[in-house]
A and B are shown apart, each in its own frame.
Chain A
């Protein structure tokens, strides 16, 4: 009687895609090792029973050598062997490397079924596998699938019950590899073909000179596309809606309201020259939705579109190779670029994915750097929207300051913290081109995740702030902090409210700066401070969970110090 089904396989063989197909639960999958850092559960209907399916992090063998692998192996042993089924997912294009785990699973007596995934890619690359023969040799069911299109999944489900323990002699590591060599000779046939464009590009991107040229090109083009799509959505879709339909609606709705009444203040906010100003009015129905849907959402869509594409093609690990040298000096290794890039979307998944790094020290450095020096998309969108009005030069300046902070902070942390930066050892995936439907789904789930997370907080946040402002309850706080904020950073005392709101959400915080009529210099300082100072509440909680209280305090102290130093430097030295 099967009570649990485990999905196990080498990193980056498409386990998460198979999992989504089996359970209907959407999980983020990417073309690089380590996308799944936690085990994820879902349910599969088998006959009239619902069985739990667990997607385990990728592992090369049953002898765990990393923490993700340990998790996978310990989970496998939770239930008696006769109550589980193990679906071993293999990459058809690279059978040799994948078979080690398969043989180990069989040796250990797990009821295993082998799922040769990515069969379409194998055909493209001229790799032919004799499934019948492999089944004969391994004595377990072998099914060929292509999870991204769904081919073979039904057959896989039908045959799960055929997974039974098979007895097999235990071999040493070396003997196993020899055995695998024999198996490959019998079942795999490689068609000789000339290098195609894809292989040429794969090769060029890991060589120093061509790699750097490609990397600069790809990063430049990515930025351009993100800006282009973001601006396109704003100018063609969201702005016409807000300034047309929505504004008319609001004006009709509030025609009879008293301008100074509490409700008017709460929902519409202050009129600018007798009109609603979506950027400055600060009402629950005006600025709050405009910030989220009119300024931030367009960039969330364009950023995640480009990031998802880069992820699924498999470019990011190649970027990691090129940046390894630089990141080593910051106490990290090349692979840390992945959490950092995710952090540019939202700090929360960025910090969560620092789990791909091995040591606690690395994870501390990476998390601290992300929460201080990496602005999330909502914050960036607002900085571009507001500061960009003074000229692109200022926006570029903020990025430059943040980049400089990351460098200096990393160099110092690497020096001060005891320990060393481990070497990296990483498999580089081949380029793959995901079907558009898969890309679209991933984008949909990411955007949906953003909306669910952001919209309630923004609406409630603006509601609470407006209430406090109306009854002038902020005055006490602003009074206390005014000397600090004015004396050190040259900001008006009202800016303290915005900086405090930054703890809730960064985009709203920048939005609150809009009506203050700040100069370019003041806005520059305030925006930079918002980026480096207190991470928003969601990031803070994740930092706490991932680092523990002690390291969270350490990280927070570093952040406060950096904020003060940078704020003062900008105010008195750099922007004088």
Chain B
């Protein structure tokens, strides 16, 4: 098991969300969209340097700005 942020995890890899750093507003926004602690998400792509990260969570696809992605910590097996 290793802890890794959404920015660092490689494309096409899965991980379980274990922590969302940052304010409650961000946590709540992500939680409302279905990205919460314990949820398994797949990183689809990462656009360029410091660009947004695209993930798949359930049947939804989300794009997260680089700064947001850096705050989502995953547990990767």
Q: Count residues of chain B with CB under 8 A from any CB of chain A.
A: 33
Q: Provided the pairs A94-B58, A208-B48 are in contact, do residues A177 and B34 lie with their beta carbons within 8 angstroms?
A: yes
B30: chain A residues at CB < 8 Å are 425
User: Is the pair B28, A427 in contact by a Cβ cutoff of 8 Å?
Assistant: no
Q: Which of A79-87, A317-325, A443-451, A473-481 contacts B (4 or more CB under 8 A)?
A: A317-325
User: Is the pair B62, A427 in contact by a Cβ cutoff of 8 Å?
Assistant: yes
User: Is the pair B45, A207 in contact by a Cβ cutoff of 8 Å?
Assistant: yes
* Contact residues of A between 304 and 324, Cβ < 8 Å to B: 317, 320-322, 324
User: Is the pair B54, A60 in contact by a Cβ cutoff of 8 Å?
Assistant: no
CA distance A334 to B53 in the complex (A): 12
Cβ of A100 to closest chain B Cβ, rounded Å: 7
CA distance A316 to B21 in the complex (A): 29
Q: Does A505 contact B (CB under 8 A)?
A: no
Most A CB within 10 A of own CB, among B44, B51, B63, B68: B63
* Contact residues of B between 48 and 77, Cβ < 8 Å to A: 48-52, 54, 58-68
Q: Does A280 contact B (CB under 8 A)?
A: no
User: Is the pair B63, A424 in contact by a Cβ cutoff of 8 Å?
Assistant: yes
User: Is the pair B52, A424 in contact by a Cβ cutoff of 8 Å?
Assistant: yes
Q: Provided the pairs A94-B59, A424-B63 are in contact, do residues A206 and B33 lie with their beta carbons within 8 angstroms?
A: no
The binding surface of chain A is classed by DSSP as helix
User: Is the pair A206, B63 in contact by a Cβ cutoff of 8 Å?
Assistant: yes
Q: Does B14 contact A (CB under 8 A)?
A: no
User: Is the pair A206, B34 in contact by a Cβ cutoff of 8 Å?
Assistant: no
Contact residue among B44, B59, B66 (Cβ-Cβ distance under 8 Å from A206): B44
Q: Provided the pairs A208-B46, A423-B68 are in contact, do residues A321 and B54 lie with their beta carbons within 8 angstroms?
A: yes
* 3 interchain residue pairs of minimum CB distance: A423-B65, A60-B32, A61-B32
* 22 residue pairs A–B, Cβ–Cβ below 8 Å: A94-B59, A96-B59, A100-B32, A127-B59, A206-B63, A207-B45, A208-B47, A211-B45, A321-B52, A324-B47, A325-B47, A325-B49, A334-B63, A422-B65, A423-B65, A424-B65, A424-B68, A425-B63, A425-B64, A426-B62, A427-B33, A427-B62
User: Interface residues, chain B, CB within 8 Å of chain A?
Assistant: 25, 28-34, 36-39, 44-52, 54, 58-68
User: Interface residues, chain A, CB within 8 Å of chain B?
Assistant: 60-61, 63, 65-66, 93-94, 96-97, 100, 127, 173-174, 177, 202-203, 206-208, 211, 317, 320-322, 324-325, 328, 333-334, 422-428, 430
